[in-house]
Amino acid sequence: MTSRSLPTNATLADLGEFGLVDALKERFPQGDNVLLGPGDDAAVVTVPDGRVVVSTDLLVDTRHFRRDWASALDIGHKAAAQNLSDINAMGGRATALTVGLAAPPDLPATWALELADGIVEEAGLVGASVVGGDVTRSDQVMIAVTVLGSVEGEPVRRSGARPGDVVAIAGRQGWAAAGLAVLARGFRSPRALVEAHRRPEPPYGAGPVAAAAGATAMIDVSDGLLGDVAHIAEASGVAIDISAGSFEVAEPLRAVGAALGADPMRFILTGGDDHALVATYPAGTALPDGWTRIGEVAEGSGVTVDGAAYEGPAGHTHF
């Protein structure tokens, strides 16, 4: 993307708040659904049926990303992806984003603009626009993204799973967790896994397709497969059993598992940040393309793997 000419070593303090806002606005093209974009007190967007689906996430430097592990462009993609995936998990389609950035005054201005480019590129994958936001001074970098979208018909909630339903997944799973394990040990390969951690690839479009196919419950896998499936089990008042044998363990996962002395299935069962979707469907449903059966729903409570309790943490916890 192009922008007004800036000194290569300019900082946020050099630009000032409004200079930064002006530079960011140049990077946010507006889609047809945007009636009023950045520049006023609030944005105005249209939605097909008058209902809006909203999700917000906050990313903090050194906790959710590391600037020495990923570029600003990658971090922008990741920040947008994890929010866009939440709309996807409701069976909806994202239309607009707002972004908040808190940063130290000596942060290079080019970093902030590259972050914006990453957000715009990721949002463009689903046809969404960045319509506004805010910037402020902080001792560390923090990014807050809010996504707005719409759904056709009823949103797919976590609470609709019923005994007899099948459990299915769309998207890759375990790659980002394996990439994080690699980076944490000071390595940069296998590159495919490192890139999966830096820049997730949610299965955009799989959510609306699942909703149209009759999915009864759905969730975005952000904190770990078993931990997030447990949210469906709890909200629906059911038990869910996951079949470990239903997953294909990709070669890069096997390689990292062997190198680190770890079971690669742990990355798949407890890893987050790939933003795969897990949904439940009524028995006998022909699963849409891209969806794979991985378990079943039964009477009871909790989540098991191959009929037994899983030993160890089921995923990431924030506190």
* 274 labeled binding residue: no
pLDDT-based confidence at residue 33 (cuts at 50, 70, 90):
confident
Contact in structure between 202 and 88 (CB atoms under 8 Å): yes
188 — pLDDT class (breaks 50, 70, 90): confident
Domain end, chosen from 123, 150, 177, is at 150
Q: Is 64 annotated as a binding residue?
A: yes
Q: Report the DSSP pairing between strands 277-281 and 217-220.
A: antiparallel
Domain that holds residue 64: 12-150
For residue 82, being part of any structural domain is answered with yes
pLDDT at 2: 42
Residues 238 and 116 in one domain: no
Do 314 and 226 form a contact (C-beta atoms < 8 A)? yes
306 marked among binding-site residues:
no
- Please give the torsion angle defined by the CA atoms of residues 193, 69, 136 and 59, in that order, rounded to the nearest 10 degrees: 40
Query: Tens digits of per-residue pLDDT, 100-127?
Result: 999 999 999 999 999 999 999 999 999 9
* pLDDT, position 311: 84
Please check if 57 is assigned to a binding site: yes
CATH number of the domain that residue 184 is part of: 3.90.650.10
Q: Give pLDDT, residue 246.
A: 97
**Domain for residue 313, yes or no?**
no
How far, in Å, CA of 64 to CA of 79, rounded?
9
Residues 35 and 171 grouped into a single domain = no
Residue 319 lies in a domain: no
| Distance in angstroms between the alpha carbons of the first and the last residue of the chain | 38
pLDDT of residue 235: 93
CATH number of the domain that residue 93 is part of = 3.30.1330.10
Cα radius of gyration rounded to whole Å, the chain: 20
Q: Determine whether the annotation assigns residue 316 to a binding site.
A: no
Q: 174 and 73, same structural domain?
A: no
158 is in an annotated binding site: yes
Question: Would you say residue 317 lies in a domain?
Answer: no
Is 236 domain-assigned? yes
Report yes or no on 7 lying in a domain: no
Is residue 93 a part of any domain in this protein?
yes
- Whether 125 and 167 map to the same domain: the answer is no
Q: Examine the domain organization and report whether 57 and 125 are in the same domain.
A: yes
Domain's final residue, options 92, 123, 150: 150
**Among residues 130, 153, 145, which one has the least CA distance to residue 85?**
145
Same domain, 93 and 168: no
pTM of full prediction above 0.85: yes
Q: How many domains are there within the chain?
A: 2
Judge whether 6 lies within some domain: no
Residue among 81, 133, 146 at smallest CA distance from 102: 133
273 belongs to an annotated ligand binding site: yes
Judge if 163 and 298 occupy the same domain.
Answer: yes
